[in-house]
Amino acid sequence: MPKRRCKTPLVSVSDFETAAEETMSPMAREYLQSGAADEITLRRNRSIYDSLLLKPRVLRDVAQLDTSLTLFGARLPHPLLLSPAAHQKLFHKSGELGSAAGAAAAQTIFTASSFSTVSIEKIAAHSSHALWFQLYTPPDRAISSDLIQRAEKSGCKAIVLTVDTPVLGTRNREMRIGFHLPRGIVRENLRKYGVSLTRSAHFSSTGVATTAVDASLTWEHVDWVRSRTKLPLLLKGILAPEDASLAVEHGADGVIVSNHGARNLDTTPSTIEALPGVVEAAAGKIPVLVDGGIRRGTDIFKALALGATATLIGRPYIYGLAVSGSAGVARVVEILLAELRAAMALCGRPTIASIDKSALWNHSPL
């Protein structure tokens, strides 16, 4: 890995992004940073956060700040988790092992992707903290069943079912650079899944499992996944309030408001715009988490103010991984949490429960 030439201290996520660009190949950089089509939603994920203004309050006794919360019966020290991100050995030799170790150091949950470059068993064996497992659903249900069982046996605490990818999005920047996975990662994919996957799925020349997504999926498949596991089941990729209501009806234990990092369908709302409607539809029956566009601790604060139970990041921790492996992952989380605590203090909100819409100067992200 090339040494980082910049000697400026890394004190923000944007600093890590700049530093990470020096370590990544052009192909890895385009894969990580690009969105769908003209990337309108990719920019909007960020810009709407910037348009929301905070309301500072004074003389509120913020000497003791408490960022803890309870999620699915577990007490978490803070509301920042790590989203699934595929093919992490593109960015650092440690891959998902580095991210899981960094998550453990920062006392946060790492969500292992179905497209990890390390098996869930190996990730779990090298992690000292709670893991979730993200599931794609190929047409062959035996594959999904096998992955769920392996996640359970590995000690994962929740299943995150991605529901927003019946087909892959139009990713022009990936097309222009001719994105493909290096042979070593392709071999890792084949070895990781073993006989159960290779007998049913066909890998393209890029190393991507071409049958890992299924355009025929319906809510019946959510029922099927629900029947296969007693672990908490979260549906990732919910934007429409109507889908949030259906998620409750079909037994989901939580939803993640996500537009897949703006990588699937362009000109959709940002996730922070969609969040209030999903929260209203969920009606307090299940937790609502959100990812997409978070680059500052103030963004976490704003998401909590608009009703999110917790938040997740994707690209930011991968920037940390690319710069310095597990230490970089942990540092990115630490930076964001320090910024969150500062926002809580300056807005006079000493606990997560005390953060609500009244902490925003303008309540609507529209």
Residue indicated by tokens 């991605």: 162
Please state the length of the chain: 366
Bridge-based pairing of strands 310-313 and 110-112 is: unpaired
Spatial contact of 171 and 36, defined as CB atoms under 8 Å apart = yes
Q: CA–CA separation, 101 vs 110, rounded Å? A: 9
Q: CA–CA separation, 159 vs 136, rounded Å? A: 10
215-228: burial string, b at 16+ Cβ within 10 Å, e else: eebeeebbeebbeb
Nearest to 29 by CA among 176, 169, 165: 176
CA dihedral 223, 228, 229, 234 (to 10 degrees): -30
CA angle 253, 257, 258 (to 5 degrees): 125
Question: Is 250 labeled as catalytic in the residue annotation?
Answer: no
Q: CA–CA separation, 227 vs 191, rounded Å? A: 28
Q: CA–CA separation, 36 vs 261, rounded Å? A: 9
Per annotation, catalytic residue among 78, 87, 92, 260:
260
Helices (H), the chain: 13-23, 26-33, 40-51, 95-105, 120-125, 141-153, 172-177, 183-198, 219-228, 241-249, 271-282, 297-305, 315-346
Query: Tokens representing 227?
Result: 């029947």
Q: Would you please indicate which residues are annotated as catalytic (active-site) residues?
A: 260
